[in-house]
Structure 1
Amino acid sequence: MNSLIDKAPEDIVVMIGNTTNLSEAFELYSKFHPLLKKYKFIFSSDNGGVPGYTINKNFSSTGAIRGLFETEHVFVFDEQSFHEMKHGRIEYPIDYSVSLDTNAMSYLYPYISGIKKGSQPIDLNEVFDFVSQSNVNIDPMPYCMENYQNIKNNTMVNKIFENLKAYEILRNIDIYSLKNKGIIRSYLPDEEITSRAQNFLSTMYFNIEDSNFLDGLDFYHKSMYVCLVKMVSIQIKYSNHSFSKKMEAFLDFCHQCLATMNGREAAIAHAYFRQGQKLKFFGKIQKKQKNIFNHLKNMAWDLWHIRQLEQNTTFKLNDSSRYFFPAILTFDKNLIEIIDLYPINAIAYHADKNEPIIFPKVNPFNLNEDIKIDDIETINKYFSDDAKMEREINRKKISENLINIVNDLENELFIVAELNKT
């Protein structure tokens, strides 16, 4: 049926996002654009616009920039660009930022603060050259999000404050001193750096008094954490079982206990159940590991940062920019490995909502070709309309019960990992 009235906008968005090439996507958008006036699409592309400095980049050693798209170009559809295309070349202003997490700051801080003297490793020279460019916007939010839990700790708060000062130096780096003297310092006076860091710290103190903010942060972190705890329990408990048995157990958990099916977490589970500890993100996770829960909580922050990149894509930082492209700077090879597991083909979102719809290049729920047909049918049972409706009905109730889910899963892993025998 070709009538526009026969299609819901949400269904059309999915149709466009799941197309295999840009011409097909554009044809569908052209056909249905009257119903998509506030929807925006970003496609990974071999041609098109360049999303600032957020394209993937590997420095010579451990450091890397990772955005959400693996290509150097993107192609966008929205109401304004669609009309501009009819009249030739389109131009759309963008914003972008590069985030640094706690791992990155731990790596960079000794050189920024002057604790380590002398020449930096070549890799760090490349990093500092990169962040010193005037168009590179440094975002400290991943570091802040990880450290809200530590801000009331008098010992930790001094370290947080020093790191916030280091962020301000990076955001206002003296390019002349860096290029000509190899010195990392800000062109701002020390008093201004200190004042800006104090203001940022004050904002963090203000935020921790907001119970809704903290509850939301805690919820999203726990949502990542429980997925990891369950993956590890399955990997240990079903060590002698088939890959498809493990995958089914994880999807059943997502369906029954979380009332959601997240593609990125499914892709991670897929790789972990195939590779085990060879997937270095899980390299420290094993039976009788005393710090297993702390490791998993830190890993959950890594997953949260990736999710936040997806979320940030929907943000509009100022009225003049039509798109925002976030990226993360990290020195954690294991995190890079996890990000690269799930390349994205397209992102769509409604301009009035901060709800990205992710379309991966490879559907993690469509398993490898060597999986038997009955296994595929077992996986597909979680994606019927009835199953989706069941998750929709149960989602709020499960969200309210997340703390009990955490406790149950930790108790399960405690037994499975034989932590009672350490």
Structure 2
Amino acid sequence: MSKFISPEIQKLLHEITNESDLSRIFSLWSYNREKLEGLRLLTNLENYSSKIIPEYIKKTVFEGKSKVFVQEFYKSENLFALSNEILDKHQSSASLAVPIDYSLLLDSNYVGSADLFLRGISLGNNHEAFTKSIHHITQNKINCDALPYLLENAEHITERMNDVKRTFANFLRITSATPKGEHIHTIDDLEFSLTEAESLSLADQRIQNFFGDKEILQHQISRQKIDFYLILSIIHIEHQTKGSLEEKFLALIKIMHTELPGIALRELAIAYKYFKNNNSIFILANVGKLIKEEEDALKAIRNISWDFHFFRLMETWASDTSKGAFFIPIFVTLDKRLANLNEIHPIKYSVFHDTERKMYTAPTYSIKDQIDNKACRLILEEYFTTQKINHRSQTKHLSPDAIEERITQKGSDLNAVF
């Protein structure tokens, strides 16, 4: 639980987001406005028709021999935002004024495809879906962000700087271009506003600014490693630990409780489904095959873990309220696994804190509702007692070096299994 969301505030937000009557929602928020000071709420309301997000950036699929998925973190047709500032403006106006800031967050595969396309290298089966999507993006002049690509390369930026700079420059160049006609087949179908030299210069400037804050960068690298260790542990428990569903569930929750910063509810809910049926989670279903193909468990699982980390990255990106606006996470990917992962853990609401610039996300279905095995539910309840919560907050979790040691060991175990 985020520190700025107390149990009292959580209960209040639950009551507000369960309402469908707008007047009742405004009344509840207004009555509790002092408690909710500094908070911004973003949620989906039933029977509410939202016009927050333009039609041209809503969820869609561009199809060819493969697919490009434009995915929403929230269902845009029911999207509703509220804060003290919005409430005040609403009371003095018939319309609901919502400050919105949005960009399409492009995943690394998509950014890499943009680089290949501009260099004249074949995209294979991805060509048609990619060109349809980039035509849509450039025609509608939609803001795009390559943050996932930069962060995925953060740990090895020094040795990969030339490749990263070129790829990022081509991302900047293509997303600022304008299509000449109704279709894009080659780069000749685009009118560029940046020359190659200009895009390289701009990329160099932005990369230097981005990687200039060593403390933030190191935090992101550490967070990625924690997520990698968590996903590795889930797969290790499933394929290395022999036991019942509840034994596997207990093994995972113990790792979260004693070794990691806290209990990650999204990953816990997904792992529970995976332990029940290891074919039920698309992204994890063929992990054995991937390890055999790579001949390296850590390399195969690192790629999978990045998809899980992607959602934490979106939450971090969305929590930046420094411009006084709501950031709406929308992402673009060629990866069906990533799109599917977004679908299996729908979000009910998110709360942002203006001062702390943090975000708390609540799922549509509570963790208790998702754990339908009685023994596993009792384990869950045990680890959310006041005593256990206090223990987690006061216990120092594993150091980066200790996590690295466990990663190496579990990788070796899985290489032996497969």
* TM-score bucket (shorter structure): 0.7 to 0.9
- Provide closer, same or farther for how the CA distance between residues 188 and 178 of structure 1 changes in structure 2, counting only shifts above 3 A: farther
* Counterpart position of 2:100: 94
Cα deviations across residues 273-316 of structure 1 (Å, max 9, x unaligned)? 23314533124522974311012222222222211111222213
Mapping for residues 216-365 of structure 1, pairs under 5 Å: 216-239=219-242, 241-277=243-279, 279-286=281-288, 289=292, 290-316=295-321, 318=323, 322-365=325-368
Q: Structure 1 stretch 91-100 or stretch 108-117: which is displaced more?
A: 108-117
- Superposed displacement of residue 64, structure 1: 0.8
- Provide closer, same or farther for how the CA distance between residues 357 and 225 of structure 1 changes in structure 2, counting only shifts above 3 A: same
- Superposed displacement of residue 110, structure 1: 2.5
Mapping for residues 8-87 of structure 1, pairs under 5 Å: 10-19=6-15, 20-23=18-21, 26-45=26-45, 46-52=48-54, 55-60=58-63, 61-87=66-92
Identity value in percent = 18
Report whether the alignment pairs 1:405 with 2:403.
Answer: yes
- Superposed displacement of residue 9, structure 1: 7.2
Cα deviations across residues 213-247 of structure 1 (Å, max 9, x unaligned)? 342122111110111111011101335x3333322
Q: Distance in 2 between matches of 1:66 and 1:296?
A: 23
- Superposed displacement of residue 248, structure 1: 2.3
Q: Distance in 2 between matches of 1:214 and 1:187?
A: 31
Q: Structure 1 stretch 360-369 or stretch 214-223: which is displaced more?
A: 360-369
- Superposed displacement of residue 97, structure 1: 0.9
- Superposed displacement of residue 420, structure 1: 4.7
Q: Distance in 1 between matches of 2:123 and 2:214?
A: 43
**Aligned partner of 1:292: which letter?**
A
* Counterpart position of 1:212: 215
- Superposed displacement of residue 197, structure 1: 2.3
- Provide closer, same or farther for how the CA distance between residues 129 and 271 of structure 1 changes in structure 2, counting only shifts above 3 A: farther
Q: Distance in 2 between matches of 1:134 and 1:367?
A: 40
Q: Distance in 1 between matches of 2:329 and 2:321?
A: 12
Name structure 1 gaps, 5 residues minimum. Answer: 1-7
- Provide closer, same or farther for how the CA distance between residues 180 and 237 of structure 1 changes in structure 2, counting only shifts above 3 A: closer
Mapping for residues 154-173 of structure 1, pairs under 5 Å: 156-173=160-177
What TM-score does the superposition give when structure 1 sets the normalisation length? 0.85
| Aligned counterpart for 2:136 among listed residues 121, 130, 135 | 130
* Counterpart position of 2:382: 381
Q: Distance in 1 between matches of 2:377 and 2:360?
A: 24
Q: Distance in 1 between matches of 2:260 and 2:240?
A: 20
- Superposed displacement of residue 39, structure 1: 0.9
Q: Structure 1 stretch 381-390 or stretch 46-55: which is displaced more?
A: 46-55
**Aligned partner of 2:165: which letter?**
F
- Provide closer, same or farther for how the CA distance between residues 184 and 365 of structure 1 changes in structure 2, counting only shifts above 3 A: farther
Q: Distance in 2 between matches of 1:307 and 1:119?
A: 30
| Aligned counterpart for 1:414 among listed residues 407, 412, 415 | 412
Q: Structure 1 stretch 285-294 or stretch 260-269: which is displaced more?
A: 285-294
Runs of 4+ aligned residues of structure 1 deviating over 6 Å after TM superposition are: 117-120
- Contact 1:38–1:352 (Cα < 8 Å) also in 2: yes
- Provide closer, same or farther for how the CA distance between residues 50 and 378 of structure 1 changes in structure 2, counting only shifts above 3 A: same
Report whether the alignment pairs 1:199 with 2:205.
Answer: yes
Q: Structure 1 stretch 353-362 or stretch 247-256: which is displaced more?
A: 247-256
- Superposed displacement of residue 189, structure 1: 3.0
- Superposed displacement of residue 54, structure 1: 5.2
Q: Distance in 2 between matches of 1:230 and 1:159?
A: 32
- Superposed displacement of residue 170, structure 1: 2.5
- Contact 2:40–2:81 (Cα < 8 Å) also in 1: yes
- Contact 1:102–1:142 (Cα < 8 Å) also in 2: yes
- Superposed displacement of residue 158, structure 1: 3.0
* Counterpart position of 2:109: 103
- Contact 1:13–1:348 (Cα < 8 Å) also in 2: no
Q: Distance in 2 between matches of 1:58 and 1:412?
A: 37
* Counterpart position of 1:143: 149
- Superposed displacement of residue 261, structure 1: 1.3
- Provide closer, same or farther for how the CA distance between residues 385 and 113 of structure 1 changes in structure 2, counting only shifts above 3 A: same
- Contact 2:240–2:417 (Cα < 8 Å) also in 1: no
- Contact 1:65–1:328 (Cα < 8 Å) also in 2: yes
What TM-score does the superposition give when structure 2 sets the normalisation length? 0.86
Q: Distance in 2 between matches of 1:13 and 1:248?
A: 29
Q: Distance in 1 between matches of 2:110 and 2:236?
A: 30
- Provide closer, same or farther for how the CA distance between residues 368 and 110 of structure 1 changes in structure 2, counting only shifts above 3 A: same
**Aligned partner of 2:384: which letter?**
F
- Superposed displacement of residue 15, structure 1: 1.5
**Aligned partner of 1:100: which letter?**
L
- Provide closer, same or farther for how the CA distance between residues 242 and 129 of structure 1 changes in structure 2, counting only shifts above 3 A: same
Name structure 2 gaps, 5 residues minimum. Answer: none
* Counterpart position of 1:3: none
Q: Distance in 2 between matches of 1:261 and 1:117?
A: 40
* Counterpart position of 2:392: 391
SS class of match (1:411) = helix
